[in-house]
């Protein structure tokens, strides 16, 4: 981490914590546990990035959210960093009306919507079970005395107010989440009341734990970071596989966070696919607690969407903006500069093969040349090299192709995780 005391808040906090320990030992013989406690802090263990649900007169079925008014919503998340206390973040960032939560709990997840008996803990906000988030507001919960274990799923349950409407979500959750029949069911051990299933995340955008490991990696990008077309419910996105790899190899514990949004672009917002990465970077990646390194993999949709046909009604690919390699490189430079202002390391992922026609392939190759040789990033992860067919480098290897010639298979996502040089994360 670049540490300029007085410039970067994270560095100032680290400096103060270390100074307190040094002074305690030197001047007052402060016991070791107090120093260890001073180094503890909230570190991100899981995150997701939200996108506004399209607001159009006639919403296609694909974008219609489940009913949530006066019901309970139970969502399953998989932490990537262990800790003895937990804290969840609620978001109404994209909302246009108040979000009312009248109760919340966290528990170990069991089968389906069920939870492990005896593990439920109440979640409060400012010591209250009820919280009202005005439009644009976000809030962290109080500390929860609940042990989080890396890789062990937890269920977060929220009792939704009578006037609530789901206005934002992370559309590709890659797993099933649940909405109950009417009433407050946050304490139900059985999943019987949770009869509505949906495959998005909503309202909960983060889980943090108390840990001394302020070294999280956040991957931000599009569907190839989001894990689109990997095995549903199996946590096979490349960041998830990287987290498993680190644990298997006995690496230093760290949060591996996925801020990918399927369909996302570097330079353009979308009615369906969220704010541009350049505009959401600060909120979705740089401001997360304990982040040390950012991995950026984005640009293929910027290259492709200009050629998509315009659609009547909801046009998710709008704007159909033509971008050059120079446009993308300028955008990457802005992203890199923003990360450096926060004192964070930023790594660039090369754009993976997508069977593009020659004119668009030429843009991809120019961009990848700059990522590898331009010297802008602090390090490079060569995802293109890991996935491309040596005989036809504009295409994915057959084993790594999910079938659409753009998104990797499970084997492809695993190859991406293996391609990450662990030395770049330290």
Residues 403 and 226: their CA atoms lie apart, in Å, by: 17
Helix (H/G/I), strand (E/B), else coil: 223: helix
- Cα–Cα distance, 301 to 309 (Å, whole number): 14
Beta strands 345-349 and 379-381 are parallel
141: DSSP letter: P
Task: Say what the pTM is.
Answer: 0.91
Residue 148: partners with Cβ closer than 8 Å, 6 or more residues away: 45, 79, 81, 82, 83, 84, 86, 154, 207, 209
The four Cα atoms 65, 267, 324, 226 give a dihedral, to 10 degrees, of -50
| Residue keyed to tokens 């107090």 | 34
Q: Which is nearest to 121 in space by CA: 189, 187, 201, 46?
A: 187
**Beta strands across the sheet bearing 204-211:** 41-47, 204-211, 86-91, 138-140
Question: DSSP for 75-102?
Answer: EEE--SS-BSSEEEEEE-TT-SS-EEEE
Structure tokens at 158: 């929220």
Query: What's the pLDDT score for residue 36?
Result: 32
Distance CA 291, CA 347 (A): 13
Contact 350, 372 (CB under 8 A): yes
What is the model's pLDDT at position 10? Answer: 40
d(CA 111, CA 97): 34
* CATH architecture designation of domain 213-425: 3-Layer(aba) Sandwich (3.40)
Q: What is the pLDDT of residue 25?
A: 32
Mean pLDDT by 10-residue block, N- to C-terminus, for the chain (426 residues)?
A: 34 38 32 42 98 92 96 98 98 98 98 98 98 98 98 98 98 98 98 98 98 96 98 98 97 97 98 98 98 98 95 94 97 98 98 98 98 98 98 98 98 98 95
Strand partners, 277: none
In 149-247, beta strands by DSSP E: 154-160, 168-169, 177-182, 196-198, 204-211, 216-221
Question: What angle do helix axes 9-27 and 32-39 make, rounded to 10 degrees?
Answer: 180
pLDDT at 57 (0 to 100): 87
How many other CB atoms sit within 10 Å of the CB of residue 16? 12
Q: Are the beta carbons of 120 and 297 closer than 8 angstroms?
A: no
What ranges do the domains of the chain cover? 47-55+63-211, 213-425
Say if CB 218 and CB 294 are below 8 A apart.
Answer: yes
């Amino acid at each position: 981490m670049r540490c300029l005391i007085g410039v970067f808040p994270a560095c100032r906090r680290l400096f103060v914590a270390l100074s307190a320990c040094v002074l305690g030992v030197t001047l007052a013989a402060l016991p070791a546990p107090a120093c260890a406690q001073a180094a503890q802090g909230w570190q991100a263990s899981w995150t997701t990035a939200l996108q506004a649900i399209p607001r159009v007169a006639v919403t296609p079925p694909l974008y219609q959210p489940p009913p949530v008014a006066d019901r309970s919503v139970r969502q399953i998340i998989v932490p990537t960093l262990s800790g003895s206390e937990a804290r969840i973040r609620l978001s109404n960032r994209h909302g246009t009306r108040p979000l009312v939560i009248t109760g919340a709990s966290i528990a170990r997840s069991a089968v389906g919507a069920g939870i492990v008996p005896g593990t439920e803990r109440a979640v409060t906000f400012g010591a209250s079970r009820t919280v009202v988030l005005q439009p644009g507001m976000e809030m962290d919960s109080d500390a929860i005395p609940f042990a989080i274990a890396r890789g062990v799923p937890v269920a977060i349950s929220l009792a939704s107010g009578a006037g609530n409407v789901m206005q934002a979500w992370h559309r590709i959750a890659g797993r099933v989440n649940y909405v109950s029949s009417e009433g407050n069911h946050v304490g139900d051990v059985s999943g019987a009341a949770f009869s509505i299933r949906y495959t998005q995340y909503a309202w909960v955008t983060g889980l943090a734990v108390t840990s001394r490991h302020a070294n999280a990696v956040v991957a931000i990008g599009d569907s190839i970071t989001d894990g689109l077309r990997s095995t549903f419910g199996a946590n096979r996105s490349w960041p998830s596989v990287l987290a498993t790899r680190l644990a298997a190899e006995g690496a230093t514990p760290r949060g591996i966070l996925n801020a990918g949004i399927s369909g996302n672009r570097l330079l353009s917002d979308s009615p369906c696919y969220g704010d541009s990465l350049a505009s959401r970077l600060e909120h979705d990646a740089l401001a997360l607690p304990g982040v040390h390194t950012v991995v950026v993999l984005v640009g293929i949709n910027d290259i492709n969407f200009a050629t998509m046909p315009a659609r009547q009604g909801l046009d998710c690919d709008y704007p159909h903006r033509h971008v050059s390699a120079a446009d993308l490189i300028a955008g990457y430079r802005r992203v890199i500069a923003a990360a450096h202002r926060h004192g964070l390391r930023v790594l660039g992922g090369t754009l993976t093969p997508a069977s593009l026609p020659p004119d668009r392939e030429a843009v991809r190759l120019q961009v990848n040349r700059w990522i590898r040789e331009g010297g802008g990033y602090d390090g490079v992860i060569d995802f293109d090299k890991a996935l491309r067919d040596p005989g036809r480098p504009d295409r994915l290897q057959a084993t790594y192709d999910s079938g659409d010639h753009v998104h990797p298979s499970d084997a492809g996502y695993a190859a991406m995780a293996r391609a990450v040089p662990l030395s770049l994360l330290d």
